[in-house]
Structure 1
């Protein structure tokens, strides 16, 4: 049975496996006008992550907790709902109990500062990202690669873009990416990503519904030097879509094409 922990009312035991081993998954959901955005995509990803880690989680319980959290933390301004699912308590040692008692930890957080609409400066991280195929896509609690890349990021950079051992662009420390090259949109191969972003999935779905071509392929950073390069966008479910105006020392073209196409579809799912 899953125990629900309200972070503003209860403490988390020190022997929780999420704390000891990163044994769990999490979601961060933007709440606008006290409505969770991209709710079903977040629910689906959390349930998929729990399934792959073999942590039992009831779908109805999850939905009811989200509804209760929106009422519990209701406020006039936008805010962020965070859900952390751990396998629960366990003794010293990696091998989990055959019958876990999971914890679902619920907390509310203020919105981070919104990035400027004219674009953000980013850098290419020197910290390579290696994604194990069995962990690809799920938002696990094991985020040390992202922590280290963020720690090394210059203060004047909004985001650090991470590459794999082959030098292919994968994602930012907290964002996914999309590139416009000529008449098509390009994204990294989903099976190579640490996190399959809910916002990225939503944007791609909207683009394809509008007749746009979106391709998955390996992408080298040098793509931004190609004559056909139109633009680079970052995205996550909290800040939405963010155009990139500079990568390291190279200025990029910035336009409103992606925001125009996605338009009012952005937070309506």
Structure 2
């Protein structure tokens, strides 16, 4: 079991290891009323990745916290349902205790629950993006985990200004990895291409769902390394950004170059069909 905290009452205690060391992880879930988009996948990922970090948490306890959050928060966003609902955020840390990096004995996890309005939806005609100058290093031990260690993404997000929606980050070898808050999917003549899961800082829930959906329709999906030439060359028929709150976002302009925006993913994501 964990200690439950509500963000609108008070935050974590001063000695929380999440604030001190980034010792934890989080989930951001798109909600409509009392139901969430791909909710089970979000909760399953939190339990699974908490296990990878050695933070004990039961799925039943997490579901109870979500039920309490809906009771507490959903009514605040009643007038926003037509615009897309609201956002539920779950932040789980190892807890409070232990001097320095080593956790103390018997540390009990902390869960902070918060809510917010949905962000403004990106234009359906596509968004502008650029390449980040901040390299992204992915530790194989932590690959895919939506941990609280997001300083590289914070630094890269400072490059987003004006009409830019996102910047795309590369690893030290020049391979495109992901955006500051999105996974990358490109369309080529032979099919769809995305960076492999093992190379990602965050293996997104929307990424997983979209790849499964495409494969179920018989479309070719390849996971391989991407470089700038893959997305800026003539073989690229479209670049899409995947995010669990905003869904599937086409890129119409990348680093000042216009990109094609096809309709291959136009109807694949309907949040109202994915509510649980």
**TM-score bin, normalised by smaller chain:** over 0.9
Q: Contact conserved, 2:35 with 2:275, CA < 8 A, in 1?
A: no
Deviation at 1:17, TM superposition (A): 0.4
Cα shift readout 1:164-214 (whole Å, capped 9, x = no counterpart): 011111110001111011031001010010000000101111111111111
Match of 1:36 in 2: 36
Match of 2:10 in 1: 10
Match of 2:131 in 1: 124
Q: Following the alignment from structure 1 to structure 2, what is the Cα–Cα distance between the partners of residues 52 and 263? A: 31
Q: Secondary structure at the match of 1:258?
A: coil
> Alignment length, in residue pairs?
269
Runs of 5+ unmatched residues, structure 1: none
Q: Contact conserved, 1:231 with 1:254, CA < 8 A, in 2?
A: yes
Q: How does 1:206-245 map to 2 (within 5 A)?
A: 206-245=213-252
Match of 1:136 in 2: 143
- Give the TM-score of the pair, scaled to structure 1: 0.95
Bigger CA drift: 94-103 or 254-263?
254-263
Match of 1:53 in 2: 53
Query: Does residue 104 of the first structure (1) align with residue 77 of the second (2)?
Result: no
Q: Following the alignment from structure 2 to structure 1, what is the Cα–Cα distance between the partners of residues 275 and 219? A: 19
Q: Contact conserved, 2:29 with 2:36, CA < 8 A, in 1?
A: yes
Runs of 5+ unmatched residues, structure 2: none
Cα 1:64–1:264 shift into 2, 3 Å: closer
Q: How does 1:113-192 map to 2 (within 5 A)?
A: 113-192=120-199
Query: Does residue 68 of the first structure (1) align with residue 75 of the second (2)?
Result: no
Bigger CA drift: 196-205 or 95-104?
95-104
Root mean square deviation, CA, Å: 1.6
Q: Secondary structure at the match of 1:129?
A: coil
Bigger CA drift: 229-238 or 89-98?
89-98
Q: Contact conserved, 2:25 with 2:92, CA < 8 A, in 1?
A: yes
Cα shift readout 1:96-134 (whole Å, capped 9, x = no counterpart): 123221101101111111111110000100101010000
Q: Secondary structure at the match of 1:145?
A: helix
Bigger CA drift: 190-199 or 60-69?
60-69
Q: Contact conserved, 1:55 with 1:100, CA < 8 A, in 2?
A: no
Q: Contact conserved, 1:161 with 1:171, CA < 8 A, in 2?
A: yes
Q: Tell me which stretches of 4 or more aligned residues in structure 1 moved more than 6 Å.
A: none
Q: Following the alignment from structure 2 to structure 1, what is the Cα–Cα distance between the partners of residues 250 and 196? A: 20
Bigger CA drift: 120-129 or 225-234?
225-234
Q: Secondary structure at the match of 2:192?
A: strand
